[in-house]
Amino acid sequence: MTLNDFSLSPQDVLYQIKLSGQIHSIVESVVSEKIIAQVATEMAIEIESEEIQQEADKIRLANQLYKPEQTWIWLERQGLVLDDLEYIARKTLVAKKLAQKLFSDQIKQFFIANQLNYHSAIIYEIVFDDPDLAMEIFYAISESEIEFARAAREYCQDQQMRRSGGYRGNFNRQQLKPEFASAIFAASPPQLLKPIVTSHGAHLIMVEEIIQPILDDGLENKILSDLFTIWLKQKLMEVDTIQMVKNL
């Protein structure tokens, strides 16, 4: 027998998915799609063929499929055909339109009530194995004996962070662990925080800037997505997905 003689059955694939621990998330994804489709039908959501084509084009661009032959190769590798691409585009559009219909008039109110969650902070970080060393460097930076960027070049273990002076990026509250978020968003930038000790080490964080949220198109889309996700999770709780997994 050669390697090419092997064949796969749907049962083989399903069993491997179960072993990987991903079966429940996949079942939830399938159920979510059915919930969206059912509610969209009840609310008379309609999709035009031109909209499907435009959304399919977006999917192709997102996957860097600029030529027809690239699209065919990509579909083949995924075990899909052109109809499947159109199906993906259609279900994406249905979800977007349903979210708009359900929550577009709630965005401003939600933003006002949850404004703090959409603040973001630009931070720099050095992680030390030794908390005492972290405290020593904290005082050295505070007393202008050494600049944070220089300390990062000396003590950051990650090469990219050494080169960038410890730059971590722009984070909102939801992207940070609570112990970090509470300290970072209580800062008065630019401010160096005392080391925060976790199981990963002592984190010396420089808060460069706290960015106030502006309700622009990008944030409106983010809030719409958040509202839709909350709604969908609530709907999922009404379904016994655990029993569905057991029945497979």
CB-CB neighbours of 138 under 10 Å = 20
For residues 50 and 204, what is the distance between their CA atoms, to the nearest angstrom? Answer: 52
Q: Is 235 left (phi over 0), alpha (psi -120 to 50) or beta?
A: alpha
For residues 52 and 90, what is the distance between their CA atoms, to the nearest angstrom? Answer: 6
Confidence of residue 7 (pLDDT cuts 50, 70, 90): confident
Q: What domains sit in the chain, N to C, each tagged with a CATH number?
A: 8-109+220-247 (no CATH), 120-211 (3.10.50.40)
* Contacts of residue 241, Cβ cutoff 8 Å, sequence gap at least 6: 24, 27, 28, 31
Q: Is the pLDDT of residue 85 over 90?
A: yes
For residues 150 and 143, what is the distance between their CA atoms, to the nearest angstrom? Answer: 14
Q: Is the pLDDT of residue 188 over 80?
A: yes
Strands 201-211 and 120-128: antiparallel
Burial class of residue 212 in the structure, from the number of CB atoms within 10 Å of its CB (0-12 exposed, 13-18 middle, 19+ buried): exposed
Confidence of residue 13 (pLDDT cuts 50, 70, 90): confident
Task: Report pLDDT for 2.
Answer: 61
Tens of pLDDT, residues 88-117:
999 999 999 999 999 999 999 999 999 988
Q: Is the pLDDT of residue 16 over 80?
A: yes
Confidence of residue 8 (pLDDT cuts 50, 70, 90): confident
Mean pLDDT score, 211-226: 94
Task: Report pLDDT for 30.
Answer: 94
Task: Report pLDDT for 246.
Answer: 87
Question: What's the pTM?
Answer: 0.76
C-alpha distance across the termini of the chain, in Å: 31
Give the residue ranges of DSSP H helices in the chain.
10-20, 23-42, 49-62, 68-77, 82-103, 107-113, 131-142, 148-155, 159-163, 178-184, 217-236, 241-247
Rg (CA), the chain: 24
Task: Report pLDDT for 10.
Answer: 86
Tens of pLDDT, residues 123-165:
999 999 999 999 999 999 999 999 999 999 999 988 999 999 9
- Percent of the chain at pLDDT exceeding 70: 98
Strands 167-172 and 201-211: unpaired
Tens of pLDDT, residues 191-204:
999 999 999 999 99
For residues 157 and 43, what is the distance between their CA atoms, to the nearest angstrom? Answer: 54
Task: Report pLDDT for 9.
Answer: 87
- Percent of the chain at pLDDT exceeding 90: 86
Residues found in the chain: 248
Mean pLDDT score, 60-71: 94
Task: Report pLDDT for 5.
Answer: 67
